[in-house]
Amino acid sequence: MEQQAVQLDRDTFSCPICLDLLKDPVTTSCGHTIKSCLVCLTSYCEKHLQPHYDSATFKKHKLVEPSKNLQEKICSKHDEVMKMFCRTDQKCICAFCLLDEHKGHDTVSAAAERTNKQRELEERRGNIHQGIQDREKDVKLLQQEVEAINHSADKTVEDSEKIFTELIRLLQKRSSDVKHHIRSQQEDEVSRVKDVQEKLEQEITELKRKDAELEQLSHTEDHNQFLLNYPSLPPREPKGSSRTFTKQPSKLILLEKLI
């Protein structure tokens, strides 16, 4: 019975290929060079071996499942690490793939292809960086152009404001001069008209006085008295010599001639 138990434990802890006892089952997640467990085919790193068993019971623990990153490195067809690169099909392959569907293709080691791709990548990054610098330079030039446009516009607005301010000042002065000239002419014309009006009114008064004398004489009943006073009357004005006022044309200067 004891021998049967020992045989069972030996079967549990033995390698199914070499039949030797398993020593320190391990797990890894560091991503270094890896190997596969012959029992569960889980990949592990030899540089970071860690004990993975229960020291109290000596029962073997299952190795942890490989990370997604490690799974991507294993050939799904041959369960081997893909250390080669097929340039024909542009994909990573394992050593067995070279003898299978990729036989005769243009293949190199993954490290060599990485070096080549890394060189291309750096070249592309250099081109991108140059493109960034060129565009940053263009952006700076455009910003300078925007600043120049804004400065020019501000200067033009400032100059135009000065011009219009001066024009307004000149127009106001011209308006004041025109008003003063018109009022001055107004006074002269009104004074002239009033002088004529005053003379006419004096003539009217004098004529009315003469008319009253003639009326009084016309009512004299004594013929001798009438004839005696008649010579004292003012001489008769020649026919057609009666004064008639004619309206003088306005001498006010037109506004358009003053502006």
Query: Under DSSP, is residue 148 helix (H, G, I), strand (E, B) or coil?
Result: helix
Enter the pTM of the model: 0.41
Cα–Cα distances (Å) from 92 to 17, 41, 168, 219, in that order, read: 29, 20, 84, 154
Q: In this structure, what token pair is assigned to residue 98? A: 């070279």
Domain range list for the chain: 1-73
Q: Tens of pLDDT along the chain (259 residues)?
A: 444 443 445 455 555 445 554 455 444 455 555 555 554 555 555 555 544 443 334 334 444 455 566 667 888 888 888 899 999 999 999 989 888 888 899 999 989 999 999 999 999 999 999 999 999 999 999 999 999 999 999 999 999 999 999 999 999 999 999 999 999 999 999 999 999 999 999 999 999 998 898 888 888 888 888 888 876 666 666 554 455 555 555 555 555 555 5
Q: In this structure, what token pair is assigned to residue 135? A: 């565009």
